[in-house]
Amino acid sequence: MKKLSTLILCSILIGCSTSRPSIKSNDSEKVVKAMTTEEKVRTVVGTAKYRPTPPELAPGCTNFENDTESAELLKNSVNTFMTENKVEGAAGDSYVIDELDIPAMVFADGPAGIRINPHRKNDSNSYYATAFPIATLLASTWNTELVERVGENIGNEVLEYGADILLAPGMNIHRNPLTGRNFEYYSEDPHLTGMIASAMINGIQSNGVGVSAKHFAVNNQETFRNGVNAIVSERAFREIYLKGFEIAIKKAQPWTIMSSYNKINGEYASESHKLLTEILRDEWGFQGMVMTDWWGQKDPIAQMQAGNDMLMPGTEKQVVTLIEAVESGKLSQEDLNRNTTRVLDLVKKSPAYRNYPYSNKPDLKAHAQVTREAATEGFVLLENNGALPLNKEIKTIAPFGIATYDIFTGGSGSGYVHKPYKITLKEGLQNNGYNVSEELEQTYLDYIASEKAKMGQESFWYVPIVGEMDVELTSIQKMAQNSDAALITIGRSSGEGSDRKLEGGDYYLSETEMNLIKNVSTEFKKLGKPTILILNIGGVIELTDCKDMADAMMIVWQPGQEAGNSIANVLSGKDTPSGKLPMTFAKRYSDVPSSTNFPWSDGDPSTVKYREDIFVGYRHFTTKNIEPLYEFGYGKSYTTFEYNDLMVNVNEGTVEVSVKITNTGNYSGKEIVQVYVSTPNGEVVKPVEELKAFAKTKLLAPGESETVYLTMKASDFASFVENRSAWVTDAGTYNIKVGASSTDIKLNADIEISDEIVRKVKVMFPQVNLK
């Protein structure tokens, strides 16, 4: 007995002296202290396993012509980032140290749903994920509650498929309509971006999984994305390109942030101490971890020092470099410890740490219902002469346009989702009881198949896009005889790796598309039958020349896997569209403020000067008095709304606005109320107006009213004054404009922001006059 207790005591003592503190029972700092340099370095570097075959440089990726660095990286990387972790097809994972109970966290894309491989070797189960609407569509809903619900659903799939961090939301500003990844981003406006992103982050993170809000910052193009130097004024940087992130960090505390590939004023974002530490953490109070974008392989030492805690997806070269740097004193142990601690703090929040028993069986049926509803709220009705909703007499529809049969549910690249199915528009119409011409369908299907056979295989970097089919006038005439209405769908897709082109079939309508729209509308009109034009697009296209051809024109964006059902529900009148534009549609590309300096300036492909400064999107159009084709915030409904009883109250540093909205039409519908503020000129030139608040009503029945309440802070009205390096709210008269769009202002009121309030603002909101 005595022998046994001595043995137990010995083993306890030995255990105490040799075992290191587990992360389970100790705080991260203590664990880090007991780690070796190599363990720490491996913790801050991801553990991607490379796929052996290098991808071809995709056809169409010509933007890499001048970008040898990107081209090199691509050749040496993978076209589906695959890790040999528990979630196949996820983008990356983190290092495991069993002895310290540190598990691997799994990082997976992306903004429209989790992107993982749908099939696994020697496994008969499938791992499909729901393809939700693209980010731009979600922003067009202006409905933060709805976006939060979408986020809850996306986050649930992240959790149930065993991942820890979703690499989303994409939050870059739509600086130029040609940016290939705009579909993954929300808007040209930082307030809308920040509010929608906050809702998305809150929804996702409510599942106990994290996000990586990206790409921080000033990542507004794909051309030369690994090295482009964005030259931007401090004011535009703060007010336009950082503001959305600032809002989201303060409102939703994302678990992680992804730094961007590009340089900002000569310094790589991932190496910028000012961006990643002084602004992000010291000013805004970010508590989480920062990771690089994939293969953002700049100087790993500078990245570590800047506060870029983790390098993704990680290479052995980075590990070796960092170990040597610590040994030679180039990188301090303090910096490494700090970054490692942040990674471990993240581990402690993760489902992997909790050993969450993920099911691999999220409720895809329930999520499909949510994606269908969310999509309809983001459709933007641009034109309608009464043709929509479709008259009840309409039974047979002639659907033209390739995208009717091969609809784009989302974009490509890391924003792509492997969905279980997609409902085409033709199927959606049939599900809503319409007959569609089988003859027309067969012609289109044959054409699509034969064109695709001539094109490359779809991949991460490349989506075959079939040019529109010529339809003979006689066929159109025959269809007009035999059907009650025509539908034309124009489709566009883009994605990571290249920007869009200023060409027919992309930014412009092609000649074939124009002819199709013209001929179909004319022939159907002759017989008194309507033509509906559906725009299945990921970003802006030029619509100036076709604006009035059809009887109704609606943007359905890339609406997720239930596409056809969502669209048909709106056409039939089951749902009323209630989306509004999150960006401006210019009459001509040359009206876009960045058109002369995108994707580069002065013939130098490595540099882009943001000469338009803060005058991006509607800030430019309203201030310079240029009439757009469709303004920011614009969108029609099947019904009409009246605005009454505007009340504006200034209470200390808070401005409270209320307005009564009444549905004055014949259909139920929701209205998006927007508050723009004109500020007095102070030390810097102000735009004519800026969006500072918005709200969406509930579904209002005809005749029903709702009073919506909106709150702003006087500090929200501040401009960034460069020579003082300070946010300044000026005292003076502010015009509060309440409207249905950026130019359709219904009611307005002046308020006074007194010197006293400005003084209080400085005390209440310390971000004002920081330095």
Q: Could you tell me the smallest distance in angstroms from the CB atom of residue 89 to ligand BGC?
A: 10
Sole binder of ligand BGC in the list 31, 91, 380, 718 (CB under 6 A): 91
Q: Does 222 bind ligand BGC (CB under 6 A)?
A: no
For the CB of residue 170, give the shortest distance to ligand BGC in the complex, in Å: 7
Phi and psi torsions of 677, nearest 5°:
-125, 130
Rounded-to-integer distance, Cα 410 and Cα 375, Å: 12
- Would you report the helix, strand and coil content of the chain in percent, each value rounded to 5? 35, 20, 45
| 298 is a contact residue toward ligand BGC (CB under 6 A) | no
* Length of the chain counted residue by residue: 771
Dist CA 128 CA 168 (whole Å): 18
Residue 230 burial (CB count, 10 A): 24
> Between 214 and 619, whose beta carbon lies closer to ligand BGC?
214
Compute the least distance from the CB of residue 646 to ligand BGC, in Å.
42
Can residue 436 be called a binding residue for ligand BGC (CB under 6 A)?
Answer: no
Residue 645: active-site member = no
> Please, which of residues 473-532 interact with ligand BGC by CB under 6 A?
496
Q: Applying CB under 6 A, does 297 fall inside the site for ligand BGC?
A: no
Of these, 67, 88, 109, 189, which contacts ligand BGC (CB under 6 A)?
109
Cβ 167 to ligand BGC shortest distance, Å: 4
Contact, 270 vs 288, CB < 8 A? no
**At closest approach, how far in Å is the CB of 298 from ligand BGC?**
14
**Any contact of residue 293 with ligand BGC (CB under 6 A)?**
yes
Q: Shortest Cβ distance from residue 90 to ligand BGC (Å)?
A: 9
Q: Could you tell me which of 520, 509, 583, 581 has the C-alpha nearest to residue 546?
A: 509
**Is 109 or 523 the residue whose CB approaches ligand BGC more closely?**
109
Could you tell me if 190 and 173 are in contact, meaning their C-beta atoms sit under 8 angstroms apart? Answer: yes
Q: Is 462 in the site for ligand BGC (CB under 6 A)?
A: no
In whole angstroms, what is the distance from residue 530 CA to residue 332 CA?
70
User: What sections of 142-242 are H helices per DSSP?
Assistant: 144-160, 190-205, 234-236
CA dist., res. 424 & res. 403, Å (int): 8
Report the alpha-carbon distance of residue 444 to residue 521 in Å, rounded.
19
Interaction between residue 164 and ligand BGC (CB under 6 A)? no
Is 460 a binding residue for ligand BGC by CB under 6 A? The answer is no
Q: How would you classify residue 552: left for phi > 0, otherwise alpha for psi between -120 and 50, otherwise beta?
A: beta
- Kindly tell me which of 109 and 716 has the beta carbon lying closer to ligand BGC: 109
Quick one: 115 or 696, whose CB is closer to ligand BGC? Answer: 115
Sign of the C-alpha dihedral computed for residues 683, 684, 685 and 690 taken in this order: negative
Q: Which residue number, 136 or 697, has a Cβ lying nearer to ligand BGC?
A: 136
**Cβ of residue 267: shortest distance to ligand BGC, in angstroms?**
19
DSSP 229-298: EEE--HHHIIIIIIHHHHHHHHHH--SEEEE-SSEETTEEGGG-HIIIIIIIIIIT---SEEEPPTT--S
Site string for ligand BGC, 28-67 (x = CB under 6 A): ----------------------------------------
Helix (H) or strand (E) holding 677: strand 672-678
> b/e string for 176-197 if b means 16 or more Cβ within 10 A?
bbbbbbbbbbbbbbbbbbbbbb
**How many residues in the shown chain lie near ligand BGC by CB under 6 A?**
10
Whichever of 81 and 676 has its CB closer to ligand BGC, that residue is 81
Phi, psi of 13 (to 5 degrees): -60, -45
Nearest to 147 by CA among 414, 373, 382: 373
Q: Which is nearer to ligand BGC, 108 or 758 (CB)?
A: 108
- Residue 214 in the binding site for ligand BGC (CB under 6 A): yes
Tell the smallest beta-carbon distance from residue 296 to ligand BGC (Å): 8
Q: Which of residues 391-420 bind ligand BGC (CB under 6 A)?
A: 414
Choice among 67, 93, 109, 293 that is catalytic: 293
Longest dimension (CA), the chain: 106
Cβ proximity to ligand BGC: between 83 and 662 the closer is: 83
Member of 81, 255, 268, 416 binding ligand BGC (CB under 6 A): 81
In the complex, minimum distance from the CB of residue 169 to ligand BGC, in angstroms, rounded to a whole number: 10
Q: Does 186 bind ligand BGC (CB under 6 A)?
A: no
* Among 185, 237, 294, 621, interactor with ligand BGC by CB under 6 A: 294
- Secondary structure, 3-state, 301-365: HHHHHHCCCEECCCCHHHHHHHHHHHHHCCCCHHHHHHHHHHHHHHHHHCHHHHCCCCCCCCCHH
For ligand BGC, the closer CB: 167 or 240: 167
Question: What does the binding site for ligand BGC look like in residue numbers (CB under 6 A)?
Answer: 81, 91, 109-110, 167, 214, 293-294, 414, 496
Active site residues: 293
